[in-house]
Amino acid sequence: MLIKTKRQPLKPYLVGGVTALLLLGCQPETTSPKLSSSVADSAGFTPASPHTIEANQRLLSQLPFDDIQDFEDANRGFIARMPELKVRGTNGDIIWDRTAYDFIEGDAPKSVNPSLWRQASLNNIDGLFEVTKGVYQLRGFDLANMTVIEGEKGWIIVDPLTTAETAKLAFEFLNKTLGPRPVSAIIFTHSHMDHFGGALGLLTEGEVFSEAVDIIAPAGFMHEATSENVTAGTAMSRRAMYMYGKQLPRSERGHIDSGLGKEPAFGQFGILNPTLVVEQDSSMMIDGVPFEFQIVSGSEAPAEFTFYLPEQQAYCGAELVSKNMHNLYTLRGAKVRDALTWSRAIDEALMAERDTKVYFGSHHWPIWGQERVNDFLAKQRDTYKYIHDQAVRMLNAGLTPAEIAEQIKMPPSLSNTFASRGYYGTAKHNAKAVYQAYLGWYDANPVNLDPLPATATAIKYVELMGGADKVIAATQMAVDSGEYRWAAELINHLVVSDANNDEAKALLAHIYDQLGYQAESAPWRDVYLTAAYELRHGSPEKGIDLASMKQILLQSPVDNFMQSMATRVIGPEVFGEEFVLNIHFTDLNKNYVLSLNNAVLHHKLAPKSDKANATLNISHELFVDLIIGNAGVKEVLFSDELEIEGSKLDLVSFFSSLDKPKGVFNIVTP
């Protein structure tokens, strides 16, 4: 059943005088009024400077803005859209608001890189689309796409978005538009949150526990999907606030896009254990639909596959390929990705003997036609391999990461292709990632072997330069000449040495404004502008709520939590201390023995130790509540919901020695 609704109308699309066509739906009244070009906005963001305006205008002559193929592709197969796409979380807060981006139309404003504005305009094209017969996509309901394949008994869902709330709304819209069908299978293409976190929004509790719906994922999925969020999740979450511009206004001087899509939703995250694990390249029948899987783990994600639908002659590239340059290193922080493995995986997909009529992915819009699909795959492959090969060539010539980043230049055949532009990753920071993968953090110059900490260095530099006034004067000269990177380097010393110098912070914030406005990468823009925002308004009082992660953490291996506890031990506070603790999970019937020696906490799955200072008999769920802060230590330890053998005081003393990170540490100030 296919219900066609009125196609989105054509609109003229102008980028600084370069005419193209932008196919967008009827937009509600914008929530972001046009700003005066000469005043700061309500959040303090300053106007684009003449240097910024010139830099952005210069880009217009360097790229083929008159190429409208992407806009045609992004609208092809349009069926319907939700005109007021807003999603509320369990507490009533809006966690996803597509209408906040309605200001993105027409000419690129002076405060936005025109190439990024083009990408943001494309990512604004939302709704339900037909990719090919029996394959649909819901775009604009979250950072990623939800792909839906028509099976014999129901819908096969591919990548159910980030949160239960957005996934539920998207699925309801699908069934309302195309006719109600149940979920017959769920496919997780890889282990990143925006591709599995919404799974619980699609199934009833009974369907989850009965395992009536097959869950298909690549080998290693559960380990990779859960482990990253436990060990370094606090730091990653704080850094992600910068990378995705979570605190920024949605405006022409704020957040406009994330490159891969608009932004990730922040609601209730969940995960489901796979019932079918794909270990190697293989074929499988899922609800009457043939699938051919290609394992690409170790490329964009540590556990990932792509697949081909032979009956539809359609290739799903998951996130192995996308309509931008991806990250070899993500600014939120993670292990670097292997550029060579990544490019080889794309090459394998390209070399497969398939008659592919259409490509679709976990982000962005499809591509139709064998020749165009092959050209896209080849350029994606060569983008990552070129960065790899050139970075290795330069590191073997003795260049440092900063020098490599400054010198790397993409070939015109790639740099003039919008799908290879750095809207998410960039050639600069990806080249540094290649260096890190092979040689690590040390650039071999002894001055960087044991440098002074940033604050101590900054104090000495400010003193050497003659004090705060002279640093500000020198910085202002650099600003006046448009040398924003150098200006940031100068004034940052003063801000780090004296975080109470409001004049210095205001000047650095203005510099970050300009660097953000010039950035083609959406994460770079958000990082710069979030830094500017926090220099003006301070760090947030509250980080991302770990309680929203509870369903994922409940599925995480207990070993991950034990190791996480070890990383929270405040070493100097337990020098000379020895402690043994049994933690018995009453619902799992498992016991872990924790031992503290040499200020190091070890754990092992073993019978209860008779040498333990205390034994904690607790349910797995209550233990997770304790870890994420849903319940306080003393509240739990002295409650009737668990049983304690041995010394409660020793137990309180032990838990008091664990750090309690709030996840809102300062980044741009000491």
Residue ranges covered by each domain of the chain: 51-56+65-437, 454-518, 557-657
Q: What is the 3-state secondary structure (H, E, C) of 524-593?
A: HHHHHHHHHHHHHHCCCCCCCCHHHHHHHHHHCCHHHHHHHHHHCECHHHHCCCCEEEEEEECCCCEEEE
pLDDT at 168 over 60: yes
CA dihedral 30, 32, 36, 37 (to 10 degrees): -110
pLDDT at 6 over 60: no
- C-alpha 615/C-alpha 636 separation (Å) is 14
- pLDDT score, position 627: 78
Higher confidence at residue 166 or residue 549?
A: 166
Both tokens of residue 601? 């906490």
Q: Report whether 145 contacts 247 (CB < 8 A).
A: no
Give 247's DSSP letter: T
Q: Which residues pair with 644 in a beta bridge?
A: 616
What is the CATH class of 454-518? mainly alpha
The H-or-E segment that residue 407 falls in is: helix 401-407
Mean pLDDT of 180-185: 98
CA dihedral 609, 610, 614, 617 (to 10 degrees): 60
Read out DSSP for 455-516? HHHHHHHHHHTTSHHHHHHHHHHHHHTT-HHHHHHHHHHHHHH-TT-HHHHHHHHHHHHHHH
Given the structure tokens 């159910």, which residue do they identify? 160
State the burial class of residue 528 (Cβ atoms within 10 Å of its Cβ: 0-12, 13-18, 19+).
buried
Q: How open is the CA angle 325-255-118, to the nearest 5 degrees?
A: 50
- pLDDT score, position 669: 97
In CATH terms, the fold of domain 557-657 is Nonspecific Lipid-transfer Protein; Chain A (3.30.1050)
Query: Confidence class of residue 227 from pLDDT cuts 50, 70 and 90?
Result: confident
Both tokens of residue 353? 């003997």
Beta strand 367-368 pairing with 94-97: unpaired
- pLDDT score, position 36: 52
- C-alpha 188/C-alpha 267 separation (Å) is 19
Q: Tell which residue, 61, 53, 47, has the closest CA to residue 17.
A: 61
Identify the CATH number of the domain defined by range 51-56+65-437. Answer: 3.60.15.30
- On average, the pLDDT of the chain sits at 92
Query: Confidence class of residue 11 from pLDDT cuts 50, 70 and 90?
Result: very low
CA 36 to chain centre: 32
- Residue 646: what residue type? G
Maximum Cα–Cα distance across the chain: 79
